[in-house]
Structure 1
Amino acid sequence: MIKVFLIVNSSGKIRIRRFYDEVEFARQQQIEQKLVQLTSKLSPNSCNFFKDLDGIYDKKCKIVMRFFGTLYFIAVIDEDESELGVLDLIQNIVDLMDKIFENACELDVLYHPDKMNALIDEIIVAGIVVETNIMDIQEALKQQETQIKNK
């Protein structure tokens, strides 16, 4: 299960955040701060996943990161979730962003949070990956957009 999903820029500003467990707001901020600090220590060529030995979220969890352009995609996952599966999930999210925004960048995340939130909500529900087919997700997002325009 995915516990936390963040998109953070290279200066450490959080652009998208999702907590899939009930976590107090002060604890959320603490987790976010530690994850951002962790990204600042890593180079883009660093290992993409490692155990949460410092207990940023929980010592039983693993942290998966991927760097694209100026954005870090970070997921905190439990011990049952596949690290490679989450790396593939992040790649799917980036591919979808490229299709939706035509060569996506940080500004697309910043200026279209509604589309980004819908994209992530279509893929991850309550910390569980429910859809990975890019065509199906694109179709669902188009239907949502059509319904919003018709209201």
Structure 2
Amino acid sequence: MLDLAVSSWTGLLMIFACINFVLLISRQGKVRLTKWYSPYSQKERTKVIRELSGVILTRGPKLCNFVEWRGYKVVYRRYASLYFCMCIDPEDNELEVLEIIHHFVEILDRYFGSVCELDLIFNFHKAYYVLDEILIAGELQESSKKTVARLIASQDSLVETAKEQASSISNMIAQATK
């Protein structure tokens, strides 16, 4: 009985994909966002980005969105001028990762109002915050778009409050030093 429970539990654990890293690459090969969930040295990261950029950017639009690479699978999807790439273990579900990518893009779209590459360049910290609300340690944390939107709005509110307090403190200091 215990063996059956353990095998069901391990089967359940295998449903969720473990993402090793996330890359957002422009069509020109510029990196717009990276998030590493597995340990890679800076030299290895640079090599990974160069290799994957070469592989993904040269693929035809009619080919599938999965690439076998170094014993892993890289799942990618192009939205406008950006490629959203996630590296997973070979036994993980590619379709689930495509859904995670789409989920991330939908939330970015809601937040920025039709997200574009410039939004990610100038507001990269917000894009990272959105990604951190969706994924923790390379695993899906939150699948509800409403919950993520509420958490992001709460974070934005905290940032605005902190800015206002910092501004009032600097005004008080300026007044006191006159």
**Match for 1:117: what amino acid?**
Y
Of Structure 1 and Structure 2, the greater helix share is in 2
TM-fit CA distance, 1:79: 2.6
The DSSP-based 3-state class of the residue aligned with 1:131 is coil
| Runs (4+) off by over 3 Å | none
In structure 2, the residue matched to 1:73 is 84
TM-fit CA distance, 1:7: 0.5
Q: 1:43 aligns with which of 60, 72, 76?
A: 60
Q: How many residues align?
A: 145
In structure 2, the residue matched to 1:141 is 152
Q: Distance in 1 between matches of 2:142 and 2:93?
A: 16
Q: TM-score, normalised by structure 1?
A: 0.92
1:44–1:67 contact (8 Å) kept in structure 2: no
Q: Which runs of 5+ in 1 are unaligned?
A: none
Q: Distance in 1 between matches of 2:115 and 2:61?
A: 18
Percent of aligned positions that are identical: 27
- 2:65 is the alignment partner of 1:27: no
Q: Distance in 1 between matches of 2:93 and 2:54?
A: 24
The DSSP-based 3-state class of the residue aligned with 1:143 is helix
Aligned-residue CA RMSD in angstroms?
A: 1.0
1:2–1:81 contact (8 Å) kept in structure 2: no
In structure 1, the residue matched to 2:106 is 95
In structure 2, the residue matched to 1:63 is 74
The DSSP-based 3-state class of the residue aligned with 2:78 is strand
